[in-house]
Structure 1
């Protein structure tokens, strides 16, 4: 947290500037071409309205990868934050909880900044934006907790790079962020529906567009809650093994 006091301004700027650039380039620029040649697979909305919630959800996943991979790995090193904290009365579960709370704080700040951009663009109103923030936080924690469980046991940093290349990037491209997955082959579409980013995108986009019913919203949120809780359970075990080693 002390380190974040020195870097929060840059983090907030990035959280605002990146959405502006993506929405301007893709949502408004490319969106005009998409709207002019509307696909039957895209909901009957402007492309910027379709894209913006997808980018918001994907940004939560990206923040989770940034916060729960290298920082967790570095914290486990001999002179890292975790061994130092473990030398105090804090238990491994307390250390995990503290770090997850900080990740939740970072994800929430980024989500708030992004939602403000959406409100300025007129993509959503303030009331809808207030519903989006906790939904995006849920998406972020559904990634962050399992990533903590994995990263705490990683020995080689190169494996962390692999997570970005072979997990985060494919999810970012193929989970419905930029286009409706109905355009994909049936087998790939079925596979994508099993991923957390798909459920997060459907939940957040459905709220933003007002097109999701209580049943589907509960199903998507339930999937994400179950994944986050499973990640916490596995992370507690991993932290206990690592810090009691």
Structure 2
């Protein structure tokens, strides 16, 4: 008679990391896409309705009040205020959406819903998780920006195919801002006043004083250098020059280079900080 079996039941082993950084990023993007398909209605206000209200209030309403003065055409280079404003609002809405999507949702992934930790417990690295979320934010901005372009065109704010390049410029601008804000959010343990201060002292002033609603040369000379460091000013200049066909090649290269540097710096910080926070 034989004794009890001494066979050892094998313990399930982790299947390893997803091969290739791009594959892991794609899995994270797929996760957010699956969530978005079921919950897109919750984002309509921030991604579509809010920019539309800005367009109606400033482009249509305020624009109708100031267009008859003659001074507006001098400031805008001879085009209507709505046409001049529309590409800037496209960049502004991308930056605002990027700032929001890169604060509380990121902290939620670390602290409240802990989605990032669930991903890191599987075959994904912190680098793939951070870059995947950043890629998803960029895709969201492209989609919401495309809808916004259709709305702008319906109100007569589009004068040519250059608006497509404006959408690209707005997306690059928003992604650069998102990368930097995500890196900051990855260091936050308790939201407290940190996110409130970010929106109050960075995002809102950047929105108001980056040439969105009026040229920055109307600002006091001492304040203008602050606008020059704003990513939104660079994105606005790119989007507006594309939409109005006022290309200045050297200036465009400078704007793109500045935004790409911010994007690369932010992406590097995101990979390091996500990896550090998600590593036991």
* TM above 0.5: yes
- The answer for the alignment partner of 2:87 in structure 1 is 53
Equivalenced residue count is: 245
**Equivalent position of 1:65 in the other structure:** 99
Shift of 1:130: 2.2
Distance 1:68 1:19, change over 3 A: closer
Output the CA distance in 1 between the equivalents of 2:136 and 2:122: 19
Distance 2:246 2:61 in 1: 25
Aligned match of 1:17 in 39, 42, 49? 49
Q: Distance in 2 between matches of 1:129 and 1:7?
A: 29
User: Residues 119 and 126 of structure 1 are in contact (CA less than 8 Å); yes or no, is this contact kept in structure 2?
Assistant: no
If each structure's helix is expressed as a fraction of its own residues, which one has the higher value? 1
Corresponding residue of 1:76? 110
Gaps of 5+ in 1: none
Q: 1:112 to 1:240 in 2, by over 3 A?
A: same
Distance 1:46 1:15, change over 3 A: same
1:219 counterpart (254, 257, 279): 254
Computed over aligned residues only, the root mean square deviation of the Cα atoms, in angstroms, reads 1.8
CA distance in 2, matches of 1:9, 1:133: 22
| 3-state secondary structure, aligned to 1:144 | helix
Q: Does 1:179 align with 2:211?
A: no
TM-superposed deviation, 1:125: 4.5
Of 35, 43, 56 in structure 2, the residue corresponding to residue 3 of structure 1 is 35
Quickly say closer, same or farther: Cα 1:156–1:12, change in 2 above 3 A: closer
What TM-score do you get using the length of structure 2 for normalisation?
Answer: 0.82
TM-score computed with the length of structure 1 as normaliser: 0.93
Structure 1's 43 and 125: CA in aligned 2 closer, same or farther, altered over 3 A? closer
Measured after TM superposition, the shift of residue 78 of structure 1 is 6.8
Match of 1:89? 123
1:100-139 equivalent positions in 2, closer than 5 A:
100-125=134-159, 127-139=161-173
Task: Give distance in 2, aligned partners of 1:164 and 1:173.
Answer: 12
Deviates more, 1:224-233 or 1:27-36: 27-36
Q: Is the 8 A contact 2:186 2:277 kept in 1?
A: yes
Q: Residues of 1 paired with 2:247 and 2:46: CA distance?
A: 30
Greater CA drift, 108-117 or 2-11:
2-11
**Structure 2 unaligned regions, length at least 5:** 1-31
Query: How far is 1:196 from its partner?
Result: 0.6
Q: How far did residue 206 of structure 1 move?
A: 1.0
Could you tell me how far apart the structure 1 residues matched to 2:165 and 2:199 are? 29
Confirm or deny that 1:31 pairs with 2:66: no
- Counterpart of 1:241 in structure 2 is 276
The separation in 2 between residues aligned to 1:130 and 1:45, in whole angstroms, is 19
Give 1:43 deviation, angstroms.
2.8
